Amino acid sequence: MTFGLKKKNYVKEREDNFLSLINQNQDKLYKIAYSYVKNKEDALDIVQESVYKAYISYHKIKKVQYEKTWLTRILINTSIDFINKNRKIVSIDMSYIENMSDSSNENLHAKLIVREALDKLTEKQKTIIILRFFEDMKLEEIANILELPTSTVKTILYRTLKEMKIDLKE
């Protein structure tokens, strides 16, 4: 009888921890997904699918300190899978354009150019740029998420920035 009660408490605690993880990171998850697909509905679908995938495999997490990294990795993979399945021209939501912090035409044009430059990158390059500059993550965090050495992430980042600089100048 005691074993059954302990198991129920354990399951309830794990569910509470999972819900807490999702609630604490929901905005971040949406922003990352949106940065990949640039469409509100698709980003929400990606977040929903990622949360589902995370929920069914949450029991596999052994160390709590890796939960965010694990969840972000699922989201990135789900975003990339979505893009690969839906190889189409991705239109930018009007709400994205309307919600830009500075609505001057010059700034809007510059942001759209940066977005176009991002679209030309490989998935790995795009992921590193998004996590570093849009999500303000440290290189070590990005390395953990991508399961790469920090030096490799740094090299990819600087090469990508160099490539983007050339594209942006053109």
Answer whether 93's CB lies under 8 Å from 39's CB: yes
Mean pLDDT of the chain: 81
- List pLDDT tens digits, range 42-65: 999 999 999 999 999 988 888 888
Residue identified by tokens 């980042």 is 157
Per-residue model confidence (pLDDT) at position 140: 92
Residue 87, Cβ density class (10 Å: 0-12 exposed, 13-18 middle, ≥19 buried): exposed
- Tokens 């490989």, residue located: 122
- Residue 94 pLDDT: 43
CA–CA distance from 104 to each of 49, 99, 100, 110, 115 (Å)? 36, 12, 9, 10, 17
pTM: 0.65
Tell me the pLDDT tens digit for each residue of 88-137.
444 444 444 445 444 455 566 666 777 777 888 888 998 898 888 878 88
